[in-house]
Amino acid sequence: MLHTNIIANTNTINILPLQVKNLQIVKKGNLLLNDVSLNIESNDVTIILGPNGAGKSLLLRTAHGLEAPTQGSLKWNTTVPLPQQSWRAYIFQKPVLLRRSVRANLEYVLSLHDVDKNDYDSLINSALEYTGLSSLAERNARVLSGGEQQRLNIARAWILQPKAILLDEPTAELDPSGTAAIEQLIKTIAEQGTKIIMTTHDLGQAHRLANDILFFHQGKLIEHTPAKDFFKYAQTQSARDFIDGKLLTGSIEK
Amino acid sequence: MNDFSQAFAKALQLIFQLDPALLEIIGLSLRVSLTAVFIASLIGLPLGAALALYKFPGRGIIVALLNAFMGLPPVVVGLVVYLILSRSGPLGVLGLLFTPTAMIIAQVCLITPIVAALTRQTIMDANDEYHEQLRALGAKASRMMKTLLWETRFSLMTGVFAGFGRAIAEVGAVLIVGGNINHATRVMTTAIALETRKGDIELALALGIILITLSLIVTSLVMSAKHAAYQYHS
Amino acid sequence: MKRTLIFILILLFNISIVYAKDEVFITLSSTTSTDNSGLLDYLIPKFKNKTGINVRVIAVGTGRALLLGERGDADLVLVHHKPSEEKFISKGFGIERRDVMYNDYVIIGPKNDPANIKHLKKAVDAFKLISQSGIPFISRGDESGTHKKERELWELTGVDIDAYSGDWYREAGAGMGATLNIANAMNAYTMSDRGTWLSFKNRDQLTLLFENDPPLFNQYGIILVSPERYEHVKHKEAKLFSDWLTSAEGQQAIADFTLEGQQLFFPNASREVATSVMK
């Protein structure tokens, strides 16, 4: 398949809405996601918030096919089967880069997806330029700084022109300047029409990036509201406590 | 101690004169052990990787056997290979006993478990690190195995060198299946055993010095491989 | 990097190609005494010159040398323990046994001879004195011809050596050279074939203390592995070697072989045996 075909395909695929119905995930007898139902329709930045163990990452992983629902369903609006999943990419908190050059890391991703070899150079160069890594192209990926590594991680996702990128706390291990660079990248990618769903612990980051907020607590979806409403008029006590930086321990009340 | 320094001087003389008998023995040692390590790697690397990555019936038994075989005394391996290759054994018709081929077979049996077990451990560790990421990138199982083998190439090389070190230094197996025949199957270790038995310390010592030098080279190769692996890690 | 690895692999493979030597050879399983002394290294080139046949020697103890013959892993055996040899033949593994030569055993011990055996006339008396002295005696302990011979001598003394095993009677489970090394390290007595003793270089405190008593003589026989039992044995070539070794020329070669100026092996292929075999 030619890369131009991928782009053509991804342009014609309408992956939204993402529909989640009565999603339940049980692991080793623990109920980790409890009867979650939601619809994501707008093609912008959705941020998942919540304390540790709320099920944020689990939802994200399920959305990328890394976890299977115990009950219920999670469906993107597409029939493209998993092997051609180049329309969707996943960013881990800590990138695992291959022990080779920055350029070779990008080439590796292309080689996984039947991209025409003649297109490699132009695709790689534009991804490098897009993420500001052109000058580091021949460096060993494993010796890059944390911020550079995460930028390469995003380049690795972006190079296939996905319709959605899922990010699991992408800046958790970065310093402020690294974080700023990544946030800028995410913003630009979203503005160019790629759906972003990400988790974060950083409320400020949620403020800066989010169009809507999914708030999870103890495996349940507590609120799904536009970001500006969430921070001003959170409807539940637990969400208000979370915003105020209080420890959430008690039971859930609506 | 005077005896020792005399023997040592004579040993060095043999080495620097490139004594033909000495060269023949060293050549055969290298030929046998390098071939053995090459074949053992062809078997051990994919086997170890498969054991690390795939679940299949009998896997537990194979892993247990590999670990048990890793510490097997060479004489036992030699004896078993002898009984198989002996004219009265199941593969006797091949007439391989007392040939370099028989010695290679014995050494392959001896070091394949080492290569496979170390490969399995290395690939298992790497898989813990890479699996999710590669899956998320869209890599299929066969591609994942190839990627992991390449990513861990330096660590895997330490296993291969360890196998070579064991092969070149072992005496029990090659003595039994090779027979220590002059000009045919005499290698460094069997020659050392023989010359020591005869009380001819000089030749034994010369061979010993070469063996030590070789294992020093191998060790430093292992260390630089480890160093390279470490550099790529950090 | 990839190219380097592939290059190394190709290199290893090339090194490893085993060049098949195109030579006619027979496999002789023999004892360490004939090989370590250098006798076979002296004889084989002469035989090869004459016939073009090389002889590959597996040098082990008499017990294992016969076992190699029994399993068909050798074409002929040259050993020195007649009862075992006769058993080998009666079981159908060997044919055409011929006497070849004899050598003799000597008793080796510390230079100061603490058991005082130096001036004795009979080997049995020497063994008796050693047993009474409590000085360690190192036995091969490996079921070799030498070991069997030594056990026979102990039996003649009436000393139940098994009762002293691990005490002053030490079984090394090793070849002759290794046993001499141990005797040297422990200042002990041992019994060795003369050839190994003469070629043994690490003598130190050891010296020859007793020799030249007929019970110490040691007859070597050569036996062909039965071609009826094992079709693959190179019977014709093996027989050529056996014939040559017992011929006037072979016997002279054995007599000519010396070590440190001493003749080690005394040819005695008796005419009767040789002719009876020739039939």
Does any domain span residue B1? Answer: no
Tell me: the pLDDT tens digits for B132-179? Answer: 899 888 888 888 888 998 989 888 888 888 888 889 888 889 888 888
The residue range of the domain holding B69 is 28-233
Please state, as a whole number, how many other Cβ atoms lie within 10 Å of the Cβ of residue A235: 13
Does B198 contact C21 at a Cβ distance shorter than 8 Å?
no
Does any domain span residue B183? Answer: yes
Does any domain span residue B169? Answer: yes
- Give the residues of chain B that fall short of pLDDT 50: 1, 234
Pairing relationship of beta strands C258-259 and C25-31 according to DSSP bridges: unpaired
Question: Which alpha helices (DSSP H) does chain C contain, by range?
Answer: 2-16, 32-36, 39-51, 62-70, 82-90, 123-133, 145-157, 176-186, 194-199, 235-246, 248-256, 271-278
Strand order in the sheet with A18-27: A30-40, A18-27, A71-75
State residue C165's pLDDT score: 83
Does any domain span residue B13? Answer: no
Tell me: the pLDDT tens digits for A52-86? Answer: 888 888 999 898 888 888 888 888 887 655 445 56
More confident residue, C10 or C35: C35
Instruction: Show the CA angle centred on residue C252, arms to residues C87 and C81, nearest 5°.
Output: 15
Nearest to B137 among A99, A109, A140 (CB): A109
Residues from chain B contacting residue C72 (CB–CB below 8 Å): 86-88, 92
Q: Are A152 and A131 in contact (CB under 8 A)?
A: yes
- Ranges A60-64, C17-21, C189-193: which has the least confidence: C17-21
DSSP state at residue C168: T
Query: For the domain that residue B213 is a member of, what is the CATH number?
Result: 1.10.3720.10
From the candidates B104, B111, B197, which should be mutated to test the interface with C, based on the most C CB atoms within 10 A?
Answer: B197
- Per-residue pLDDT band for C277 (boundaries 50, 70, 90) equals very low
Q: How far apart are CA C140 and CA A135, in angstroms?
A: 75
Does any domain span residue B95? Answer: yes
State residue B3's pLDDT score: 65
Q: Residue A193: which region, alpha, beta or left (left: phi > 0; alpha: psi -120 to 50)?
A: left
Asked if residue A252 has pLDDT above 70, the reply is no
Does any domain span residue B21? Answer: no
Q: Are B123 and B149 in contact (CB under 8 A)?
A: yes
What radius of gyration do chain A's Cα atoms show?
19
Q: Are C67 and C55 in contact (CB under 8 A)?
A: no
Residues from chain B contacting residue C232 (CB–CB below 8 Å): 87, 93, 95
Nearest to A142 among B136, B138, B232 (CB): B232
Rounded to the nearest 10 degrees, the angle between the axes of helix B74-85 and helix B100-137 is 110
Nearest to B233 among A64, A98, A142 (CB): A142
Q: How far apart are CA A5 and CA A226, in angstroms?
A: 35
* Element (DSSP H or E) covering residue B150: helix B141-151
CB proximity A153 to B under 8 Å: no
- Per-residue pLDDT band for C110 (boundaries 50, 70, 90) equals very high
Q: What are phi and psi of A193, to 5 degrees?
A: 100, 15
Q: In chain C, what are the domains?
A: 23-103+219-278 (3.40.190.10), 108-216 (3.40.190.10)
- Please tell me the total count of domains within chain B: 1
Q: What are phi and psi of A92, to 5 degrees?
A: -85, 155
Q: Which chain B residue shows the shortest CA-CA distance from C71? A: B88
Q: Which residue has the tokens 């006497």?
A: C99
Strand partners, C106: C192
State residue C271's pLDDT score: 46
Longest CA–CA separation in chain C, Å: 76
Q: What is the pTM of this model?
A: 0.76
- Per-residue pLDDT band for C8 (boundaries 50, 70, 90) equals low
Instruction: Tell which residue, C172, C187, C185, has the closest CA to residue C130.
Output: C187
Q: Which chain B residue shows the shortest CA-CA distance from C28? A: B181
Nearest to C27 among B34, B98, B182 (CB): B98
- Ranges A68-77, A179-188, C124-133: which has the least confidence: A68-77
Does any domain span residue B124? Answer: yes
Q: How far apart are CA C117 and CA C136, in angstroms?
A: 14
Evaluate whether ipTM surpasses 0.85: no
Q: Are C77 and C225 in contact (CB under 8 A)?
A: yes
* Element (DSSP H or E) covering residue C54: strand C54-60
Q: Which chain B residue shows the shortest CA-CA distance from A66? A: B136
Q: What are phi and psi of A54, to 5 degrees?
A: -80, -20
State residue B91's pLDDT score: 86
Pairing relationship of beta strands C262-263 and A30-40 according to DSSP bridges: unpaired
In sequence order, the 6+-apart residues with CB closer than 8 A to the CB of B99 are B178, B184, B185
Q: In chain A, what are the domains?
A: 3-243 (3.40.50.300)
CB proximity B88 to A under 8 Å: no
Does any domain span residue B205? Answer: yes
